């Protein structure tokens, strides 16, 4: 399977590249990166034969590719992805699909027009613990859902990353809070808040939709901290609680609890980069608590394996561009609700 890389930065090096290197049938044939020195370093370290300065250049060599993995700044996702789609190259891209709804819609339109698939990297959907929880819900193991809580307060998400690569990692700048310092003008504050939801908390939005389906609307949202959103599911409500509340180097703090008429599901997520560590899932019923045994696999590698299988078999992968767009639209609704009096 001939794979081209778009982007050679932090996220590519510590997440998707290590996953690709575990898969025997993968042949890394090219890297496209604006920073030539970084591209050369990556190519030399992993024996990647071709270096291009842009996704457009890579797309010109579509006949040498089976697919591409795009891990760039979200603001340039559309510029990187669309040329590849137009060249007939299936694309896997890191979440979010784009930084704006307009760019996400352009990617969706290009995928529909060309018939070339885009898969969005929501790795939690491929976490064995999440898959087990979804199966419990589908089987009615806790009866009808009465309430759900999805929590993500951050922490040390890179735990284990140092063992997964050979190139030095340049630390990324610390996340800036939209709730500290001098107050920003309302429009600017809203735009920053929306970008934060799309970039950081869209994982939690997607996980909620993956487990529970689509809400009918947003009952309430606040700017926090933490940021809160209450989603209307008709017969029940779901609360999203997100925000950087943890102290420096604190353990990862992300979980979901789903309450039903006959029981409860507790889902506790491992740090995203803790190698081979799935989420823990516990089923509570009148018979007692049962910790489910799930395979020792993590979502990043499993999502890439799945994407490559889909490419080989000519099957459209999910989550696709339409799902990525739906998440961005829901983020917009949440931010709009936070601005209501």
- Do 109 and 153 belong together in one domain? no
pLDDT at 186: 52
The one-character DSSP state at 97 is: S
Asked if 194 and 332 count as a contact pair (C-beta separation under 8 A), the reply is: yes
- Do 61 and 130 belong together in one domain? no
- Do 136 and 231 belong together in one domain? yes
Cα–Cα dist 60/210, whole Å: 36
What Å distances lie between residue 142 and 45, 137, 199, CA to CA? 50, 7, 32
- Do 259 and 144 belong together in one domain? yes
- Do 11 and 93 belong together in one domain? yes
- Do 117 and 129 belong together in one domain? no
pLDDT at 326: 98
Question: Quick one: tokens of 119?
Answer: 């898969």
- Do 101 and 168 belong together in one domain? no
- Do 143 and 246 belong together in one domain? yes
Cα–Cα dist 177/195, whole Å: 12
- Do 284 and 166 belong together in one domain? yes
Q: What is the DSSP pairing of strand 2-6 with strand 27-32?
A: parallel
What are phi and psi for residue 336, nearest 5 degrees?
-65, -40
CATH number, residue 28? 3.40.50.720
The number of folded domains in the chain is 2
Cα–Cα dist 299/289, whole Å: 25
pLDDT at 261: 98
Q: Which residues is 217 bridged to in the sheet?
A: 232
Asked if 267 and 116 count as a contact pair (C-beta separation under 8 A), the reply is: no
The one-character DSSP state at 8 is: -
Is 205 within the bounds of a domain?
yes
Is 233 within the bounds of a domain?
yes
- Do 145 and 279 belong together in one domain? yes
What Å distances lie between residue 72 and 4, 18, 64, 183, CA to CA? 13, 16, 21, 30
Taking alpha carbons only, the member of 62, 100, 105, 112 closest to residue 83 is 62
Cα–Cα dist 301/123, whole Å: 8
Is 191 within the bounds of a domain?
yes
Cis peptide before 226 (omega within 30 of 0): yes
Query: Tens of pLDDT along the chain (341 residues)?
Result: 999 999 999 889 988 998 999 999 999 999 999 999 999 999 999 999 999 999 999 999 999 999 999 999 999 999 999 999 999 999 999 999 999 999 999 999 999 999 999 999 999 999 999 999 999 999 999 999 999 999 999 888 876 655 545 455 444 433 333 333 334 445 567 788 899 999 999 999 999 999 999 999 999 999 888 999 999 999 999 999 999 887 888 889 999 999 999 999 999 999 988 877 899 999 999 999 999 999 999 899 999 999 999 999 999 999 999 999 999 999 999 999 998 75
- Do 16 and 152 belong together in one domain? no
For 100, the domain range is: 2-121+302-317
CATH number, residue 132? 3.30.360.10
Is 52 within the bounds of a domain?
yes
Burial degree of 318 (CB within 10 A; 0-12, 13-18, 19+): middle
pLDDT at 244: 84
Is 322 within the bounds of a domain?
no
pLDDT at 160: 60
Cα–Cα dist 268/263, whole Å: 17
Is 288 within the bounds of a domain?
yes
pLDDT at 163: 52
Is 103 within the bounds of a domain?
yes
Is 69 within the bounds of a domain?
yes
- Do 9 and 148 belong together in one domain? no
Cα–Cα dist 47/129, whole Å: 35
Q: Give residue-wise pLDDT tens across range 185-206.
A: 455 677 888 999 999 999 999 9
CA atoms within 13 A on the CB side of 39: 20
Cα–Cα dist 103/122, whole Å: 18
């Amino acid at each position: 399977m001939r794979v081209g890389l778009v982007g050679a930065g932090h996220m590519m090096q510590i997440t998707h590249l290590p996953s690709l290197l575990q898969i025997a049938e993968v042949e890394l044939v090219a890297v496209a990166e604006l920073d030539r020195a970084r591209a050369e370093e990556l190519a030399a370290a992993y024996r990647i034969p071709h270096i291009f300065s842009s996704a457009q250049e890579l797309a010109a060599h579509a006949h040498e590719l089976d697919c591409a993995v795009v891990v760039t700044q979200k603001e340039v996702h559309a510029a990187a992805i669309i040329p590849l789609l137009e060249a007939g190259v299936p694309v896997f891209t890191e979440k979010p699909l784009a930084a704006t709804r307009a760019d996400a819609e352009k990617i969706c339109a290009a995928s529909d027009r060309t018939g070339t698939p885009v898969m969005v990297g929501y790795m939690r959907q491929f976490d064995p613990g999440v898959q087990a929880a979804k199966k419990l819900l589908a089987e009615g193991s806790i009866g009808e859902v009465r309430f759900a809580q999805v929590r993500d307060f951050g922490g040390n998400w890179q735990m284990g990353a140092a063992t997964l690569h050979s190139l030095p990692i340049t630390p990324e700048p610390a996340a800036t809070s939209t709730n500290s310092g001098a107050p920003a003008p309302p429009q600017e504050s809203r735009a920053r808040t929306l970008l934060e939801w799309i970039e950081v908390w869209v994982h939690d939005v997607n996980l909620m939709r993956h487990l529970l389906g689509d809400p009918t609307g947003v009952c309430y949202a606040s700017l926090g901290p933490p940021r809160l959103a209450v989603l209307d599911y008709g017969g029940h409500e779901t609360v999203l609680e997100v925000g950087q509340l943890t102290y420096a180097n604190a353990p990862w703090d992300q979980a979901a609890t789903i309450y039903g008429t006959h029981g409860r599901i507790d889902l506790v997520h491992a740090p995203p980069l803790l190698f081979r560590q799935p989420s823990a899932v516990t089923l509570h019923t009148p018979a007692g608590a049962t910790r489910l045994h799930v395979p020792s696999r993590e979502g990043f590698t499993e999502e890439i394996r799945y994407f490559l299988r889909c490419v080989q078999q000519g099957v459209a992968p999910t989550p696709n561009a339409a799902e990525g767009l739906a998440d961005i639209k829901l983020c917009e609704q949440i931010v709009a609700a936070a601005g209501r009096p």
